[in-house]
Structure 1
Amino acid sequence: MNRDDNAFFVITGGPGAGKTSLLAALAEAGYATAPEGGRAIIRDQVAIDGPGLPWRERGLFAELMLGWDMRSHAQAQVQGGPVFFDRGVPDVAGYLALSGLAIPAHIERAARQVRYRRLVFAAPPWRENFAQDAERKQDFAEAERTFAAVTGSYRDFGYEPVELPRASVAERLAFIRERIGAAG
């Protein structure tokens, strides 16, 4: 790595837990951010009637997410200051585990090589926040299972997930700022 991975912070969790809103607030506060790939990949695949959709070929969808996350990490190497990622490479392994699919050796290697700050912010399932849409087809029960799978994946790869409070975006932003201290 050309840059200190200690300045790379991941926000993970299940769908509908407020990650995107929090990333927008972080960007508005002047922090560098890297968006999640899932929604963009789904939009692109739907536009071309492609197979890389979670309801068509979960393994291919995972590969597309892996490529997105690795590219986001590489692009962040040139940014100054902390960078906040909406998901990271270990999320891909968590997604595969959630889907009942084996985690290929190359994804395992990627999760061990592409590193972030050990402290990972985990947005818990939040029923009041949860909504389905054209790209988010999961129900709340799957959001809960996703949270367990991705936080378990981060633990497996040596990270320490800390649960974000079920609170306003401003309160979550303050929580993160307090936790990152001098890195922010």
Structure 2
Amino acid sequence: MKNKKIVITGGPGTGKSSIVHKLEEQGEICLHEISRQVTLEAQKEGIDQLFLTKPLLFSEMLLEGRLNQFAEASEAASDHIFLDRGLPDVVAYMDYFKTDYPEVFNKTCENNRYDQIFILPPWKDIYQSDNERYETYEEALKISSYLYSTYKRYGYNPIEVPKLTVEERTNFILDKI
């Protein structure tokens, strides 16, 4: 049985994690964002912001981690599974930061296809920065536009999730799958 792989994406501080947690509360299978984990592991090694210090290494680690998640999602014993960010997110961030990357990044995105993409728009009222989220709101706006264009470049038609309560946004997503 092929399951449906559903990505929830959006710029920093758009409410992705809150929605993923709400989906889990409702019994949905979700795979969590891994960039914070990669960042925290680098901080333990004494590198404050790996993405800023060694962006290609950070992105290679993210691509590998998200590819592993893609494989894990493919094996899930469920008719659908949610992923907090997808492979094209890595490329979008690299493009945003104008960092060169090898062609394998594009090939990985082209060869590992998701079934549905939900994108959360920038929302100033809920945006907050923290230890791992260093972007300003204005930077988050730009990153969001890169995410839209990158997913479209890979042939996706992202569904924009309206600015509603977490529960209403979660229900919107569930109604669309």
Among residues 122, 126, 131, which one is paired with 2:123 in the alignment? 126
Q: Which range moves more in the overlay, 46-55 or 163-172?
A: 46-55
What is the 5 A alignment of 1:11-22?
Answer: 11-22=8-19
Distance (whole Å) between structure 1 residues aligned to residue 101 and residue 119 of structure 2: 22
- CA deviations on 1:31-78 (whole Å, 9 max, x unpaired) are 110111111111111011248712211111111110110011111122
- CA deviations on 1:89-143 (whole Å, 9 max, x unpaired) are 01111011101123421000000011101x3100111111111111101000111
What is the 5 A alignment of 1:153-168?
Answer: 153-168=150-165
For the 8 Å contact 1:31–1:83, the answer to whether it is kept is: yes
* Distance change in 2, residues 1:131/1:87 (3 Å): same
Question: Aligned pair 1:84/2:82, yes or no?
Answer: yes
For the 8 Å contact 1:23–1:86, the answer to whether it is kept is: yes
**In structure 2, what residue type is equivalent to 1:133?**
D
Question: Aligned pair 1:47/2:29, yes or no?
Answer: no
RMSD value over aligned CA atoms? 1.4
After TM superposition, the score normalised by the length of structure 1 is 0.91
Distance (whole Å) between structure 2 residues aligned to residue 136 and residue 4 of structure 1: 35
After TM superposition, the score normalised by the length of structure 2 is 0.95
Among residues 104, 107, 111, which one is paired with 1:106 in the alignment? 104
- CA deviations on 1:10-40 (whole Å, 9 max, x unpaired) are 0111110000000001111111101111111
For the 8 Å contact 1:10–1:86, the answer to whether it is kept is: yes
**CA offset at residue 151 of structure 1?**
1.4
Q: Which range moves more in the overlay, 9-18 or 102-111?
A: 102-111
Which consecutive residues of structure 1, in runs of 5 or more, have no partner in the other structure?
none
**In structure 1, what residue type is equivalent to 2:83?**
F
Question: Aligned pair 1:174/2:171, yes or no?
Answer: yes
Q: Quote the residue 2:94 is aligned against.
A: 96
Moved over 6 A (4+): none
> Percent same amino acid at aligned positions?
31
Q: Quote the residue 2:32 is aligned against.
A: 35
Distance (whole Å) between structure 2 residues aligned to residue 106 and residue 49 of structure 1: 29
* Distance change in 2, residues 1:64/1:52 (3 Å): farther
